[in-house]
A and B are shown apart, each in its own frame.
Chain A
Amino acid sequence: MLLLKNARIIPMADNGEREFTGDIAVEDGRIFKLGPNLEYHDAEVIDLTGCTVTPGFIDAHCHIGMFEDGMGFEGDDGNEMSATSTPELRAVDAINPFDRCFEEAARGGVTTCVTGPGSANVVGGQFAAVKTHGRCVEDMILRAPVAMKAAFGENPKRVYADRKSIFTRMQIASLLRKTLTKAAEYEKKVRLADGDPAKLPEKDLDMEAMLPVIRRELPLKVHAHRADDILTALRIAREYGIRLTLDHCTEGYLIPDLIKEGVEATGAGVIIGPLLSDRSKIELRNQSFEAPRILYENGIEFAMMTDHPVIPEQYLPVCASIAVKEGLPEYEALKSITSNAARIVGIFDRVGSLEPGKDADIAVFAGDPLDVRTRCIMTVINGKVVHDERRA
């Protein structure tokens, strides 16, 4: 038993309790109990008087471990530009646990990253939710696959124009529809076969990977910056009855009413960012740190993302801080990198709040977690202290 005592705790749970001072008991990798004055006979006690404790932060969209630090093409394993639709690709086969960015992320209080393929392909492959500590990807996986990547807009056009396979947004939508239609047909055959080997279709790895998308078990994780691309994604989601998350959603704040309507109709999640970067292309020209506040004011729940390596992973809370500077309430900013991020990604059953039964992923701060000067002095992942710089 690990017992963190006397901290200011911000649990980010749904029960209305914003914060309290007390203890967290951790047992076998999970949170056992929260409350004042906890005592256990065999506990390792860590006194955190004066510290603030939050759930470990969650980055809802990034490419950590896949575009590796301090390398060029040798470490670039995020964009498989050999075909426009590659559902079978799995992030877990590219993640390098020895990328030092994982350690930097953990030292910054980021404990879960949703990482996966880039946006070159229309259907890019399977994202994974991983913890930021471990020596092999199997140790790090929280859930894999956690989403199927898809991309709209400039990136597929740019990459595939010289290969003469994509010239327009029409073709991107068409290629996505073709993949979804094929997957729906495949799913029907599998369903009708009802386990009878004689009736099952010949195994198709790409289509096997698409099955959970068609069955609404896995969201399509859609790269969409421009308002029209976002709406195309929502249109296709309605056509096929699939779940999706609107990632980047850069111009979403320009059409908040339409986003809200689309979210309510399809159950889509909104993940915004990376905001702390330049407007390097046309589809980013309306990028603004006011977006989080405007979405909040329109009653749209969202997560914030780094798109690491675009913004280094450990600066996820900095993005939340700047959003606060632009008028987003502090608690909403914290939600966007903890509970909302977990809920939108579909991992709130495991992480995103400090509640009994959840993974013991805990960030400890010497002061206000949203003050950019505050250090994360201790990080716990799966109940294990992986970073500790408390003064002796």
Chain B
Amino acid sequence: MKNGKYRLHPFTVYTYETVDSTNAVARRSVELLGASADMCVHAAGSQTDGRGRRGRTWLDTEGAVMMSIVQKTRLPMEKLPILNLVAAAAVRNALMRLVPGAELSVKWPNDVVTSDRYEKVCGILSEAVSSDGDRYAVIGIGLNLNAAQMPQGLLQPATSIFLATGKRVPLTDAINGILLEYDRQYRLLAEDPEAFLSRFAESCISLGRHVKVISADGTRYGVGEKLSPNGQLMVRYEDGVTGLVYAADVSVRSGSTVDEKLAKRLLPKRSPRSNKGDNGRAALIVGSPDMPGAALMSVKACVKAGAGLTRALIPPAIAPAFGAVPEAMLVQDDARAEELIAWADAVCIGCGMGVSDRTAALLEKVLKSKKPCVIDADALNTLSKHPELYALLHENALITPHPGEMGRLTGRSAAEVANDLSATAAAFASVHNCCVLLKSASSVIASPDGLLRYNDSGTPALAKGGSGDVLAGLVTSMAAQGASVPDAAALGAYLLGTSAEKAMELLADRFASATDIIDIVAFGLGINK
């Protein structure tokens, strides 16, 4: 960008080839010129000392635009952050209008991201400067416009408008479009703050989604509920308490909530020419003479969800019950356990087994094999009594506790876990290098690399015995068919929930039972079409 100046009513735009930072230029202009710095914009194609929030360095890429708006304001100090929202909305709207195919969203409070992958294209940093008793806002906008590649090692996924759409935008078009839209949004805010906030909310990915709030008080998890009249984010934390977030990093991770789009992407592909051997071998070590039902449900769910071959290691006493699942082959001799585990692509252990030395011995074998595995129910209760087995957990092992079981595994009460689902799951996954599916109305899936996913599908009808067994079967089936363990957990949870929702359409609340839901799994799998 060349050094120059032009009018863009109501602004005057100064352009620079390179500056230290446009916010610094803007601040100095207020200090030197006072009122005549008002409504001036400083824009540059390159900065030598750009800053982001919390003093982070803003890396400007080739083809970026940095601009800082100076605006005299009567807004009280505590309301100034709302100008971040104005700028974010301006950038989003202007670029969506200018660039065919651009689908952008705002991320509270100060980022613009792509709507599909939440990759950052723009960051905003506003500051307040005083001069002669007047207050000026300096609103800095850093936009990745025409960059053909992004720097490596960024803190959060980023892209440019060019990379996202294949279209290049002249710098002045972007500047003019953003400033005119800023002026429009600012006037909307002044005239009708509610309308401004509700329009902002429509394009804001931080609302209605699981968010991680990092502030001076630490890291908390919750759901972004709505915006306050001052533009602060109201978060309902996992303990049920709501709080306003004033200034903090609020991250929404790509695919954090498992939805149909993500589920479709995660579902293992099936070739039309595939045979049963290609579609996964699942082994389930389940059941006890007292609990044939749990075993039966997990096996049936595994078969229904499409595993090519399903085998179950069960006590001989309950074999007759498996007449209901003719697809499953039965192994009735514990001596063949290692052979079965070696054969399988994924193993499930625990449903209806009871807590016993037998369960502990079999669990040890499963863990030592390093095979992808699902550790459920009594296998979890056994694990909590055998801390020496924790060391055997590995990144392809998934534990599927409800808050009570998680409490026993971590030495906390079920209530404590329920009030702090995400952090508990994330910590366990990180400390024990395994995957966690912590079951709740909003289930959390954590993997050792720090990725968190949430499943909100499901109905209260699932709060019944057997639902967990079905889930274990579904996850095992998905893992056997080739999904990674965290993906299988997400898929299983999503399938159970959507299948339950589908079942609810067909059956009344009080009638839907876990076995009914198995029959509906085929509908849930319709996502594959």
Give the CA-CA distance A27 to B8 in the complex, in Å. 13
User: Which residues of B have CB within 8 Å of A15?
Assistant: 6-7
Question: Would you call the interface of chain B mostly helix, strand, loop, or mixed?
Answer: helix
Which of B10, B173, B184 sits near A33, CB closer than 8 Å?
Answer: B173
Give the CA-CA distance A15 to B13 in the complex, in Å. 14
B198 at the interface (CB under 8 A from A): no
Interface residues of B in 1-39 (CB under 8 A from A): 6-11
Q: Which residue of B lies closest to A359 (CB)?
A: B9
Given known contacts A32-B177, A42-B100, A355 and B7 CB-to-CB distance under 8 angstroms: yes
Count A/B pairs, Cβ under 8 Å. Answer: 43
User: Which residues of A have CB within 8 Å of B176?
Assistant: 32-33, 356-357
Q: Is the CB of A357 within 8 A of B184?
A: no
Total contacting residues, chain B, CB less than 8 A: 17
Give the interface centre of A13, A32, A355, A358 by most chain B CB atoms within 10 Å. A32
Which of B9, B97, B98 sits near A357, CB closer than 8 Å?
Answer: B9
Interface residues of A in 37-57 (CB under 8 A from B): 40-42
User: Which residues of A have CB within 8 Å of B7?
Assistant: 13-15, 355-357
A149 to chain B, nearest CB (A): 27
Give the interface centre of B8, B9, B173 by most chain A CB atoms within 10 Å. B9
Which of B10, B97, B172 sits near A349, CB closer than 8 Å?
Answer: B10
Given known contacts A33-B172, A355-B9, A27 and B180 CB-to-CB distance under 8 angstroms: yes
B249 at the interface (CB under 8 A from A): no
B327 at the interface (CB under 8 A from A): no
Interface residues of A in 329-350 (CB under 8 A from B): 349-350
Cβ proximity bits A8-25 to B, threshold 8 Å, 1 near / 0 not: 000001110000000000
A107 at the interface (CB under 8 A from B): no
Give the CA-CA distance A14 to B6 in the complex, in Å. 11
User: Which residues of B have CB within 8 Å of A293?
Assistant: none
Q: Which residue of A lies closest to B94 (CB)?
A: A27
Q: Is the CB of A41 within 8 A of B100?
A: yes
Given known contacts A27-B97, A33-B172, A349 and B9 CB-to-CB distance under 8 angstroms: yes
Q: Which residue of A lies closest to B7 (CB)?
A: A355
Q: Is the CB of A28 within 8 A of B180?
A: yes
Q: Is the CB of B8 within 8 A of A356?
A: yes
B89 to chain A, nearest CB (A): 14
Cβ proximity bits A347-390 to B, threshold 8 Å, 1 near / 0 not: 00110000111100000000000000000000000000000000
User: Which residues of B have CB within 8 Å of A28?
Assistant: 97, 180, 184
Give the CA-CA distance A32 to B10 in the complex, in Å. 12
Q: Is the CB of A30 within 8 A of B100?
A: no
B278 at the interface (CB under 8 A from A): no
Q: Is the CB of B183 within 8 A of A357?
A: yes
User: Which residues of A have CB within 8 Å of B98?
Assistant: 40
B179 at the interface (CB under 8 A from A): yes
Cβ proximity bits B154-188 to A, threshold 8 Å, 1 near / 0 not: 00000000000000000011001101100110000
Q: Which residue of A lies closest to B167 (CB)?
A: A41
Give the CA-CA distance A350 to B180 in the complex, in Å. 12
Q: Which residue of A lies closest to B13 (CB)?
A: A356
Give the CA-CA distance A15 to B9 in the complex, in Å. 14
Q: Which residue of A lies closest to B93 (CB)?
A: A28
Q: Which residue of A lies closest to B170 (CB)?
A: A33
Q: Which residue of A lies closest to B98 (CB)?
A: A40
B437 to chain A, nearest CB (A): 46
Give the interface centre of A14, A28, A358 by most chain B CB atoms within 10 Å. A28
User: Which residues of A have CB within 8 Å of B9?
Assistant: 349-350, 355-358
A52 to chain B, nearest CB (A): 22
User: Which residues of A have CB within 8 Å of B183?
Assistant: 357
Give the CA-CA distance A13 to B12 in the complex, in Å. 13
Given known contacts A27-B97, A41-B100, A357 and B11 CB-to-CB distance under 8 angstroms: yes
A58 to chain B, nearest CB (A): 15
Give the interface centre of A14, A33, A350, A357 by most chain B CB atoms within 10 Å. A357
Interface residues of B in 337-361 (CB under 8 A from A): none
Given known contacts A356-B8, A356-B9, A357-B7, A27 and B100 CB-to-CB distance under 8 angstroms: no
User: Which residues of B have CB within 8 Å of A27?
Assistant: 97, 177, 180
Give the CA-CA distance A28 to B184 in the complex, in Å. 10
Q: Which residue of A lies closest to B172 (CB)?
A: A33
Q: Which residue of A lies closest to B101 (CB)?
A: A41
Q: Is the CB of A357 within 8 A of B179?
A: yes
Q: Is the CB of A32 within 8 A of B100?
A: no
User: Which residues of B have CB within 8 Å of A355?
Assistant: 7-9
Give the CA-CA distance A30 to B183 in the complex, in Å. 11
Given known contacts A28-B180, A30-B180, A357 and B100 CB-to-CB distance under 8 angstroms: no
A352 to chain B, nearest CB (A): 10
Give the CA-CA distance A90 to B176 in the complex, in Å. 36
Give the CA-CA distance A33 to B177 in the complex, in Å. 9
Q: Which residue of A lies closest to B11 (CB)?
A: A357
Which of A14, A32, A40, A42 sits near B180, CB closer than 8 Å?
Answer: A32
Give the CA-CA distance A357 to B98 in the complex, in Å. 16
Give the CA-CA distance A33 to B176 in the complex, in Å. 8
A347 to chain B, nearest CB (A): 11
Give the CA-CA distance A41 to B176 in the complex, in Å. 16
A141 to chain B, nearest CB (A): 13
Interface residues of A in 307-336 (CB under 8 A from B): none
User: Which residues of B have CB within 8 Å of A30?
Assistant: 180
Q: Is the CB of A356 within 8 A of B173?
A: no
User: Which residues of B have CB within 8 Å of A40?
Assistant: 98
Q: Is the CB of A356 within 8 A of B177?
A: no
Give the CA-CA distance A124 to B172 in the complex, in Å. 46
Give the CA-CA distance A343 to B503 in the complex, in Å. 70
Give the CA-CA distance A42 to B167 in the complex, in Å. 14
User: Which residues of B have CB within 8 Å of A32?
Assistant: 173, 176-177, 180
User: Which residues of A have CB within 8 Å of B177?
Assistant: 27, 32
Cβ proximity bits B83-97 to A, threshold 8 Å, 1 near / 0 not: 000000000000001
A361 to chain B, nearest CB (A): 12
Give the CA-CA distance A238 to B447 in the complex, in Å. 77
User: Which residues of B have CB within 8 Å of A33?
Assistant: 172-173, 176
Q: Which residue of B lies closest to A31 (CB)?
A: B9
Give the CA-CA distance A32 to B6 in the complex, in Å. 13
Give the CA-CA distance A41 to B100 in the complex, in Å. 8
Q: Which residue of B lies closest to A41 (CB)?
A: B100
A383 to chain B, nearest CB (A): 12
Q: Which residue of A lies closest to B5 (CB)?
A: A15
Interface residues of B in 197-213 (CB under 8 A from A): none
B41 to chain A, nearest CB (A): 11
Q: Which residue of B lies closest to A351 (CB)?
A: B9
Q: Is the CB of B6 within 8 A of A356?
A: yes
Cβ proximity bits B199-230 to A, threshold 8 Å, 1 near / 0 not: 00000000000000000000000000000000
User: Which residues of A have CB within 8 Å of B179?
Assistant: 357
User: Which residues of B have CB within 8 Å of A350?
Assistant: 9
Give the CA-CA distance A40 to B169 in the complex, in Å. 10
Q: Which residue of B lies closest to A33 (CB)?
A: B176
Interface residues of B in 85-141 (CB under 8 A from A): 97-98, 100
A174 to chain B, nearest CB (A): 38
Cβ proximity bits A160-186 to B, threshold 8 Å, 1 near / 0 not: 000000000000000000000000000
Give the CA-CA distance A41 to B98 in the complex, in Å. 8
Question: Apart from A356-B6, A356-B7, what 9 extra A-B contacts exist at CB < 8 Å?
Answer: A28-B97, A28-B184, A32-B180, A355-B9, A356-B8, A356-B176, A357-B7, A357-B11, A357-B180
> Can you sample 5 A-B contacts with CB below 8 Å?
A15-B6, A27-B177, A28-B184, A357-B8, A357-B176
The 9 closest A-B pairs by CB, nearest first: A357-B9, A357-B8, A356-B8, A358-B9, A41-B100, A355-B7, A349-B10, A356-B176, A32-B176
